[in-house]
Structure 1
Amino acid sequence: MTARLPDLDALVEGMLRQTGVPGLSLAVVHRDRVIHLRGFGLREVGKPEPVDADTLFQLASLSKPVAATVVAALVGDGLVSWDDPIIRHDPGFALHDAWTTRAVTLRDLFAHRSGLLDHAGDLLEDLGFDRAEILWRLRHLRLDGFRSRYAYTNFGLTAAAAAAAQAAGRSWEDVSAERLYRPLGMGRTSSRFADFLAAPNRAVGHMRRDGAGWTPGPVRDPDAQSPAGGVSSTARDMAAWLRLQMGRGRVDGTGIVKAEALDETHRPQMVSAPAENPARDRTGFYGLGWNVGQDEAGRVLWNHSGAFNLGAATSVHILPAEGLGIVALANAQPVGVPEAVCRSFLDLATTGRVTRDWLALFGEAFAKMSTPGYGTAVDYGRRPPQSFPPLPNEAYAGMYRNDLFGDAEVATGTDGLVLRLGPRRDAYALRHFDRDVFTYQPVGENAYGPSAVSFAVDADRKAGSVTIENLAADGHGRFDRAAR
């Protein structure tokens, strides 16, 4: 195994050169020993500070299996059960229909089978709503396929973790530290964004911009979805967590999480990727905060990735029967590097060679996942060949209401119309596109190019409603004018 480590280092260095990703840190554990810890590249482009094994990275969705470990500890303590209804610990929680509200459990939400649609609630976070408000507003989202379909949701899992923390009588951030980070010696790991921001040795997230290469992106504050995406950690700390996973809750003879509670996180709970040809192809499953399946040779494989478009990419892969695990943390928006590093090393360790171009495979997958879900209505703001003028500003100005997203205000500013959204009433300039269609530039994790803002004008030549395209993917983007 150790003979393959120089090959691993060469692979990482080659992938960083090929992609330009600024920095990466990794840890390898084999048979309960940390056999490799190393940093590569820079914490921030243009600055000399290098990445090392103690550089703090945002984990993004690699937070989910970490959160599952915390809840497993509470399950082992007898404070909660994986099959407890959420409302047993959070009576104020509600989804769109009463039966699902009564029935949905911690297990359902950690397995992404609650009926919430894919990434439900994420746009509320982009608008600036906090965790409590987002979880309350989940009741306005339509459901589809309770326990019958897989749909990945940050705020569904966050709701379950928050309910478990309520059962423990403390905040999620405190429970995580008390039941996992401190007992395991993960001294630099935190579920609070402020702790990441205060760390001197931390990685700066980068975005790839046309013509400018990799540049520092806006700092992503993921506190609203802390259990699902808000953990920050180091390769060294994550190596201890890898040992805990493969040790079934024990490290150095000390039991931290009961085996039967942790084991449940590694068992398939929901089909997440049905085989295209069930006679030939492997089916993908999701456990509780983990992808659970097999590699090409049929070995059990646990894995999970994390990604922020604003500048984080992480991955963990474990072959538990071989006692082998690797975690890779990068400070750039996802292009497949951490996943390719992990899979390439597992190839080297088990077959002696890299069996395929994993970077090309994962790079293509992330490119598809990064395809914007809006923009077709206005082709990202490109003017039509012939544009019709708008009505006077007064036809569009006013307050518009939406149960999920709250009020949207259209007002006259010094340079034309502005759109105000979210709890902070952030103002966005509206640019005219064609007659009753304008555009604005969204911000946040799910923002790409300009989005259409389309007014429906009534017979009195006043807009009766407005549909905001980037908020309308799941049918919730229409705002109706408040009574006037």
Structure 2
Amino acid sequence: MESRHRGFRSLMRPTLLATLLTLTLGSAAQTPVQWQSPSAARTTAGTPAPPRTFVNTAQRAPVVDHGLAYAPPPAQVQPLGVGFDVRRFELMAQALVANQRIPGLAVAIVQNGQILSARGYGITDVRAAEPVDAHTVFRLASLSKSFAGTLTGMLVSEGALRWDSKVADFMPNLRFADPAAAQQLTVAEVLSHRVGLTHNAFDRDIEGYADYRDVVQRFANAPMKCRPGECYAYQNVAFSLIGDVVYASSGQFYNEAVASRIFKPLGMNDASVGLEGIQASARWARPHVRGRGGWASLAPKPTYYRVSPAAGVNASISDMAQWLLAQTGHRPDVLPQPLLATLHAPVVTTPGELRGSAWRRERLNGAGYGLGWRVYDYAGHRVVFHGGAVQGYRGAVALLPGRDLGIAILWNSESSLPSGLVPTILDSAIGLPYQAWLDLDLPEQIDRPETMYAGQTPASGIDGSTATAAPE
């Protein structure tokens, strides 16, 4: 295990040579400085070392380094693996919904600024079957966290707040069991799950239909794992403090800010936030759980919609294709590269991600969390990732910067079966030997790509009927 961590540090070291300071007011400019972990910033006597201060010459105000890691874009994008073929992945997606292995699925693949595929498969509801298409809306669950991090970064670039702004400046009534914690907690620490509370604190309260604001008041009596910034523990309720910060710093409610600053400029025309948003969609996929007779569709619960920054976004695969294009740097008018570099850089290590599914154990050499995104050393290649799951919905997004590739997969069931499609596509893009990550009996020509194109040349894309993300 230690050797795997060394590999991760080796991979990420070039990207952790500097941190990004707060953006200058009214500008997207960023200043790289040396990265230090909180523990490294302590003297040998055990007392805190004074933070290094840098001068923002534009505003003549001190800017303090708080350990945000800077990950520059790849110097040169490498070509996709020789056997990479989108049609094969589409056939795999179709096989996943055959015979209702899962009810419905949608997959988007973008590369080099182009949408290679954005299609739906299967049905929206086993009780009232309609085909899933490119504009069928799914609940994104924790994929929503990347929207929260991105929105916050946009406000930082506008000068509305700073990464090292104290959350208490926007929420003066915030209290923790440690009286000093609320005064110490920064915006960046919220977005990187370094609040100091225990893992998934108060999720059960949210699942029990508790009100978000009532739960936040319970922070005052909750046990703390560490001081803010000193440890990682994944959060939903505490992560959603960022919604209050957004409102206080921008004057817009969180849902409105996401819609006006992200959905509209990116052309995410099916996207929404909240239970009312998905229910108002022209076509949306119902959540499904296993029943005695197979899949059973349900009404979506309002619970985690009450923590919108953590789990409140709804979107179609057409929307997600636009999101992937923006997150891979092809919409600099909305999301400039320096901001993306900040969001996609690891701030804290998360070794627990190395366990779990087979592809994680086999492919991941290291893992960290940035600002609303996970960052992996995937077989020696940097992958920016997030997964999501909530009551009958699951999804995953992966970015492979070295190949300028983006993948989004959404499905309307609690099955983990489609998860293997992500490493299947990543392996093919990198050119790794084929490994059957999908626990599915696939036809031989799909399961073994070397047999699929005997005597043929693999295609690099697909025809125009799906490249535009139009409905089937």
**Could you tell me the TM-score, scaled by structure 1's length?**
0.68
The 5-angstrom pairing of residues 248-263 of structure 1 reads 251=331, 255-263=333-341
Name the stretch that deviates more: 115-124 or 258-267.
Answer: 258-267
Find the partner of 1:288 among 352, 367, 371.
371
Distance change >3 Å, CA 18–CA 287, structure 1 → 2: farther
Aligned position for 1:236: 318
* Unaligned 5+ runs, structure 2: 1-79, 356-362, 441-472
Tell me which residue corresponds to 1:128: 209
Task: Decide whether the 8 Å contact of 2:193 with 2:232 is kept in 1.
Answer: yes
Q: Tell me the equivalent position of 2:223.
A: 142
Instruction: Tell me which residue corresponds to 1:180.
Output: 262
Q: TM-score of the superposition, structure 2-length normalised?
A: 0.70
1:171 aligns to 2:249 (yes or no): no
Question: Could you tell me whether the CA contact under 8 Å between 1:27 and 1:36 is conserved in 2?
Answer: yes
C-alpha contact 2:364 2:376 (8 A) present in aligned 1? no
**1:158-185 deviations in whole A, cap 9, x for unaligned?**
0123212321111100111111111111
Tell me the distance in 1 between the aligned counterparts of 2:421 and 2:273.
26
Matched, 1:4 2:85: yes
Residue of 76, 81, 96 corresponding to 1:15: 96
The answer to whether 1:117 aligns with 2:198 is yes
* Higher alpha-carbon deviation: 156-165 or 195-204: 156-165
- Tell me which amino acid in the other structure corresponds to 2:122: G
What SS class does the counterpart of residue 350 from structure 2 fall into?
strand
Q: For 2:100 and 2:384, locate their aligned partners in 1 and report how far apart those are by CA, in whole Å.
A: 26
The equivalent residue for 2:154 is 73
- Give the whole-Å Cα distance in 2 for the aligned partners of 1:333 and 1:351: 30
Is the contact between residue 134 and residue 316 of structure 2 (CA under 8 Å) also seen in structure 1? yes
Asked whether the 8 Å contact 1:105–1:160 carries over to 2, the reply is no
SS in 2 for 1:325: strand
Measured after TM superposition, the shift of residue 48 of structure 1 is: 3.0
- Letter of the 2:334 partner, please give it: I
Partner Cα distance (1:46, 1:191) in 2: 25
Q: Is the 8 A contact 1:131 1:223 kept in 2?
A: no
Contact conserved, 2:148 with 2:310, CA < 8 A, in 1? yes
Write the letter of the residue equivalent to 1:292: V
Residue 212 and residue 42 in structure 1: after superposition, are their counterparts in 2 closer, same or farther (change >3 A)? Answer: same
Residue of structure 2 aligned with 1:192, choices 268, 274, 278: 274
Give SS of 1:233's match.
strand
1:11, CA displacement in angstroms? 1.5
Counterpart-to-counterpart distance in 1, 2:431 and 2:285: 33
In the alignment, which residue of structure 1 is the partner of 2:188? 107
Contact 1:39 1:52 in 2 (8 A): yes
- Matched AA of 1:266: H
Name the residue aligned to 2:296: 215
Q: Does the residue aligned with 2:307 lie in a helix, a strand or coil? A: helix
Q: Residue 13 of structure 1 contacts residue 40 of structure 1 at CA under 8 Å; is this kept in 2?
A: yes
In 2, are the aligned partners of 1:75 and 1:261 still within 8 Å (CA)?
no
Tell me which residue corresponds to 1:272. Answer: 350
CA deviations on 1:342-377 (whole Å, 9 max, x unpaired) are 2211222332763242548xxxxxxxxxxxxxxxxx
Equivalents in 2 of 1:265, 1:165: separation in Å? 20
Residue in 1 that maps onto 2:38: none
Higher-Rg member (1/2) = 1
Distance 2:389 2:371 in 1: 19
1:97 to 2:178 alignment:
yes
Q: CA deviation at 1:67?
A: 1.4
What amino acid sits opposite 1:357 in the alignment?
Answer: W
- What is the match of residue 425 of structure 1? none
Q: In the alignment, which residue of structure 2 is the partner of 1:32?
A: 113
Query: What amino acid is the match of 1:295?
Result: Y
| CA gap 1:20/1:285 in 2 versus in 1, 3 angstroms | same
What is aligned with 1:387?
Answer: none
CA distance in 2, matches of 1:5, 1:353: 17
Distance 2:94 2:269 in 1: 28
Q: Cα offset for 1:7? A: 0.9
Q: Determine the structure 1 residue equivalent to 2:395.
A: 314
Aligned counterparts of 2:439 and 2:323: Cα–Cα separation in 1: 26
> d(CA) in 1 for partners of 2:351 and 2:289?
29
SS in 1 for 2:426: helix
- 1:343 maps to 423
The 5 Å alignment of 1:387-406 reads none
> Could you tell me how far apart the structure 2 residues matched to 1:20 and 1:356 are?
17
How far 1:286 moved relative to its partner?
Answer: 0.7
Higher relative contact order (CA 8 A, sep 6+): 2
Letter in 1 for 2:381: R
Q: Give the distance between the partners of 1:65 and 1:121, measured in 2 at CA.
A: 21
Q: Secondary structure at the match of 1:182?
A: helix
Give the match's secondary structure for 2:85: helix
Shift of 1:303: 0.6
Structure 2: distance between partners of 1:271 and 1:129: 31
User: Measured at CA, do residues 160 and 359 of structure 1 come closer, stay the same or move farther in structure 2, by a change above 3 Å?
Assistant: farther
**8 Å contact from structure 2 (residues 102, 415) kept in 1:** no
CA 334–91 in structure 1, closer or farther in 2 if over 3 Å, else same: farther
* SS of structure 2 residue aligned to 1:306: strand
* Equivalent residue in structure 2 for 1:153, among 211, 227, 235: 235
Q: Does the aligned pair in 2 maintain the 1:317–1:343 contact within 8 Å?
A: no
Percent identity between the two aligned chains: 28
How far apart in 2 are the matches of 1:283 and 1:313?
A: 24
CA separation of 1:336/1:78 partners in 2, compared to 1, >3 Å: closer, same or farther?
Answer: farther
Task: Give 1:128 shift.
Answer: 1.9
Cα offset for 1:69? Answer: 1.1
What are the residue-to-residue correspondences of 1:412-427 with 2, within 5 Å?
none
Alignment partner of 1:53: what SS?
coil
Q: Are residues 1:43 and 2:124 paired?
A: yes
Instruction: Tell me how far 1:284 sits from its aligned partner.
Output: 1.1
Output the CA distance in 1 between the equivalents of 2:237 and 2:194.
13
Match of 1:225 in 2: 307
1:354 corresponds to: 434
Distance in 1 of aligned mates of 2:367 and 2:179: 31
Any stretches of 5+ residues in structure 1 without a counterpart?
Answer: 361-484
